[in-house]
Amino acid sequence: MLRASTTVVRTVFMAAAALLLLLGCRMDLVAPVELRADGSAVAGLEARFDPRMLAELDALGVDPTAELAAVAAAEEQWELFRVREEDGGLTVTLRRELADAAALPEVYAGLVTGLAPEDPMLELDLDSAEVVDQRGRLSGTARFRPPTTSGLTVDGEALGDGAAELAAVVEEAVTVGVEVVMPGPVEDHDGFLLDGDTVRIDVTGDELRRFEVVSGPPPWWSRIPTDVGTWLAIGGAVLLLGVGLVLLGRRRGAERAGSA
């Protein structure tokens, strides 16, 4: 990973910590992980800012997406997406496609490489990420380290509460988690089942959260194409076949009538 990626979480939380302290804003930090039946995977880091925090950041001239955008610009494997929510909030996602799910541990380790001990971070340490016979397994640990300072200073003095007080504020105002999408129905997990193939693992405080998610293969009907173009093509083929059968039937009927 390039140096730009090591500042991602730090920049987001240094900008947000002051607002959490001063304004009672809220945010959600998530590591979305997806394992697919073909053995590929998706890695990501996602920050969701509530409308109030976003408005205050705009007023301060702070772009919470700047460092995320720097990572996407520096490394072509990463893509950055910004989605404005209906309530005025903003979801910013850093996303990377992987041909092999086994590369997930290295990719997440690279996101925090170079961070100092006092830097805030969501650390995802994966020890198993695999898809075998379309069955998925993901296990490891997750830990969130809150910021130790608001990042603001006045006359050289840090503004805001100390590390312990700030950690308590952040724990109250920030939700942190890992959201795992598996290739098929989840068979075993120790998180919260959001959907048949999706599990969320909540990370609280700086406690090490161990987790494991196991899934079966995708159901057979999931291989049925759902995009409009495919169905239009299938519909057109069926229509042509039907017209051909009708014309063939009429021709044979005419031939029988002529021979009679």
Q: Which pLDDT score, from 0 to 100, does residue 242 have? A: 67
Is the domain of 244 the same as that of 199?
no
- Mean pLDDT confidence for 161-188: 80
| pLDDT band at residue 134 using 50, 70 and 90 as cut-offs | very high
Q: Which pLDDT score, from 0 to 100, does residue 179 have? A: 96
Is the domain of 45 the same as that of 159?
yes
| pLDDT band at residue 7 using 50, 70 and 90 as cut-offs | very low
User: 25: which residues sit within 8 A by CB, 6+ positions away?
Assistant: 16, 19, 49, 50, 52, 53, 56, 173
Neighbouring-strand partners of residue 41 = 35, 98
Instruction: List, for residues 186-242, the tens digit of each pLDDT value.
Output: 999 999 999 899 999 999 877 899 999 999 999 876 556 556 666 566 666 777 776
**Higher-confidence residue: 138 or 4?**
138
Is the domain of 82 the same as that of 60?
yes
Is the domain of 189 the same as that of 241?
no
Is the domain of 71 the same as that of 125?
yes
The number of folded domains in the chain is 2
Q: Is the pLDDT of residue 125 over 80?
A: yes
CB 193 within 8 A of CB 177: no
Q: How far apart are CA 128 and CA 202, in angstroms?
A: 19
Q: How far apart are CA 189 and CA 36, in angstroms?
A: 17
- The boundaries of the domain holding residue 194 are 3-221
* pTM of structure: 0.72
- Average pLDDT of the chain to the nearest whole number: 76
Is the domain of 63 the same as that of 192?
yes
Is the domain of 229 the same as that of 118?
no
Is the domain of 123 the same as that of 243?
no
Q: Which pLDDT score, from 0 to 100, does residue 156 have? A: 57
| pLDDT band at residue 2 using 50, 70 and 90 as cut-offs | very low
Question: In the 3-class helix/strand/coil scheme, how is 206-229 assigned residue by residue?
Answer: CCCEEEEEEECCCCHHHHCCCCHH
Q: Is the pLDDT of residue 106 over 50?
A: yes
- Give the DSSP H/E element, type plus range, for residue 41: strand 41-49
Instruction: List, for residues 14-56, the tens digit of each pLDDT value.
Output: 445 555 555 566 778 899 999 999 999 999 988 888 888 777 7
Is the domain of 32 the same as that of 121?
yes
Is the domain of 203 the same as that of 86?
yes
Q: How far apart are CA 24 and CA 162, in angstroms?
A: 17
Is the domain of 47 the same as that of 124?
yes
- Mean pLDDT confidence for 138-146: 89
Is the domain of 149 the same as that of 255?
no
